[in-house]
Amino acid sequence: MDRRNFIKKSATAVALSAIGFPTLRGKELKASTLPATDGDLVAVMGGNPAAMTMRAIEELGGMSKFVKEGQTIVIKPNIGWAKTPEMAVNTNPEVVGALVKMCKEAGAKEVLVFDHTCHEWNSCYEKSGTKKATEANGGKMLPANNESYYKKVELPQGKKITQTKIHEAIINCDAWINVPVLKHHGGAKMSLSMKNSMGIIWDRRAFHMKGLQQGIADLATYEKKAILNVVDGYRTLTQNGPQGKGEEDTVLTKTLFASADPVAVDTASVKFFNQIKEMPLERVSHIGLAEEHQLGTSDLSRKNVKRVKM
């Protein structure tokens, strides 16, 4: 059996132990001293994308814990590339569709979906399958291809980025849900929930010019935080990110992580990815920088972690 096929068969098996983090460099981690309530962080392995998503939200306490009747909700997936789901460069459309459906069932008045795409936006929305999945479940796609849709906001806690322009849908909504795909990224090393937030801004070039890793952490300080971060790892892009070169860059991992804590969910995702391909957490430095901003914790022993194998 070649290495690629071995990875495909074993990725889900190692995932449960990876997210549990029972050991670290051969040493046992201390049990959390924090009280356990609802799951702070959920890892779901196996099953189809929609079922995994619904189970994760259920384990977090249900969508009604996050979404209230009459609210306008924005769902922000990664749909930056005009490529099909098999390429693992966009958020799986079934994950997006399931979240739209659950928001509507929780009483949301309106569920809006958008991304500031890299390829032509209509092609991205169509080819990724996101438009079809969104509209089939009662959601609405929004354009994000014109600067007029963005408004200037201040980031007073930012170290390198202290202001930027954010899409008005995020500014005006009652709450938003961040839904990235788990993948390799050449510049940021990994594209996860905090990196996915760059799809809500207009001028990404400034972030690259001033220091991408710190810029990602600075953006995460924006006052309207995502109420929920759902990392789609049904398929994982292991190399040549962010847009990949072909299906040979992907692994069918059937994994999903969810938490309101962006630092914790991104930490768990990197630790899982490291089971497939080497990616030390320190290399994804915006996670540590966001923790310095006190936006969450990378110490997963302090989280009530729920692990589900479907």
pLDDT of residue 19: 53
- CA count, 13 A, side-chain hemisphere, 171: 12
Q: Confirm whether 1 is domain-assigned.
A: no
Q: Confirm whether 13 is domain-assigned.
A: no
Closest CA to 192 of 294, 270, 111: 270
> Kind and range of the H or E element at 178?
strand 175-179
pLDDT of residue 266: 98
Q: Confirm whether 228 is domain-assigned.
A: yes
Cβ-contact 259, 65 below 8 angstroms: no
Tallying the residues shown for the chain, one arrives at 310
Calculate Rg over the CA atoms of the chain.
18
Q: Confirm whether 155 is domain-assigned.
A: yes
Q: Confirm whether 59 is domain-assigned.
A: yes
Cβ-contact 211, 247 below 8 angstroms: no
What proportions of the chain, in percent to the nearest 5, are helix, strand and coil?
40, 25, 35
- How many structural domains comprise the chain? 1
- For residues 135 and 71, give the distance between their C-alpha atoms in angstroms, rounded to a whole number: 18
Domain residues for the domain of 211 are 39-309
Phi, psi of 9 (to 5 degrees): -80, -25
Q: Which amino acid is at 67?
A: V
Q: Confirm whether 23 is domain-assigned.
A: no
pLDDT in tens, the chain (310 residues): 344 444 444 454 445 555 543 222 222 222 223 333 457 999 999 999 999 999 999 999 999 999 999 999 999 999 999 999 999 999 999 999 999 999 999 999 999 999 999 999 999 999 999 999 999 999 999 999 999 999 999 999 999 999 999 999 999 999 999 999 999 999 999 999 999 999 999 999 999 999 999 999 999 999 999 999 999 999 999 999 999 999 999 999 999 999 999 999 999 999 999 999 999 999 999 999 999 999 999 999 999 999 999 9
Q: Cis peptide before 242, with omega less than 30 degrees from 0? A: yes
SS3 label, residue 174: coil
- For residues 236 and 240, give the distance between their C-alpha atoms in angstroms, rounded to a whole number: 12
* Locus of tokens 């739209």: 100
Q: Which amino acid is at 247?
A: E
Which CATH number is 245's domain given? 3.40.50.11440
Q: Confirm whether 30 is domain-assigned.
A: no
Q: Confirm whether 3 is domain-assigned.
A: no
- For residues 85 and 90, give the distance between their C-alpha atoms in angstroms, rounded to a whole number: 7
pLDDT of residue 65: 96
pLDDT of residue 38: 58
State the pTM of this model.
0.90
Closest CA to 54 of 109, 100, 108: 100
Please, which residues bridge with residue 27 across strands? Answer: 24
